[in-house]
Chains A and B, each alone.
Chain A
Amino acid sequence: DAGVIQSPRHEVTEMGQEVTLRCKPISGHDYLFWYRQTMMRGLELLIYFNNNVPIDDSGMPEDRFSAKMPNASFSTLKIQPSEPRDSAVYFCASSPDRGIEAFFGQGTRLTVV
């Protein structure tokens, strides 16, 4: 298996633009997590899904952030409109079962100018 695949790896966008980050989890994994990593706040859990259903989105910072998982092999995290303070590395991770370790993608480095 190719592991968790995220795209793009790097994204530079202007303030106010819409940004969509993509994630393909490992096949057969029922859980999918989105994290944001910054120097100031560390690794924050934004939202996670179980069997394509959002279970907890309490970490989503604002209404500008939204996440979907239309099927078991694809998820998106959208920011609209983007702001400079959204600049961070966004990780997607998946796991096969509760209580088991999560496998991370390579991350998307987002820069909003």
Chain B
Amino acid sequence: AQKITQTQPGMFVQEKEAVTLDCTYDTSDQSYGLFWYKQPSSGEMIFLIYQGSYDEQNATEGRYSLNFQKARKSANLVISASQLGDSAMYFCAMRERENTDKLIFGTGTRLQVFP
């Protein structure tokens, strides 16, 4: 069963606008972490933001924020004021902490920012 689901294969957004990338997850653990990574065309994997399952506040890192809805098991990434350099693949990932400690990834969303 897919544990991380990203339903948007591709998204377009105009420069300076905000965009939300969707991610839902499935786990029976109470303790887990959720992550977003960016992969530009150059190929490297860049960590963006982290949300712990017990964190009460939504995580924010600069223009990135994570909209964490625990009951819905969703962890959407919000990018505000999009820039051309934000064009990349974005991966949602989860790391369970109880029965296993794997870090597993969704299939990714390709974001294209246009002028």
Binding site for B on A (CB under 8 A): 31, 33, 35, 42-43, 45, 48, 50, 55-56, 89, 91, 93, 95, 98-104, 106-107
Rounded to whole Å, the gap between the CB of A50 and the closest CB of chain B is 7
How many angstroms from the CA of A29 to the CA of B35 in the assembled complex?
Answer: 18
Cross-chain contact A45 with B103 (CB below 8 angstroms): yes
Name the contact of B35 in the complex, choosing from A35, A42, A48, A101 (C-beta under 8 A).
Answer: A101
Q: What does the 1/0 interface line of B31-72 toward A look like (CB < 8 Å)?
A: 111010100000111010010100000000000000000000
A106-B44 contact given A98-B101, A101-B35, CB 8 Å threshold:
yes
Name the contact of B107 in the complex, choosing from A42, A93, A101 (C-beta under 8 A).
Answer: A42
Give the interface size bracket for B toward A. 20 to 34
| Interface of A (DSSP majority class) | strand
Asked whether B90 is an interface residue with its Cβ less than 8 Å from the other chain, the reply is: no
Rounded to whole Å, the gap between the CB of A34 and the closest CB of chain B is 11
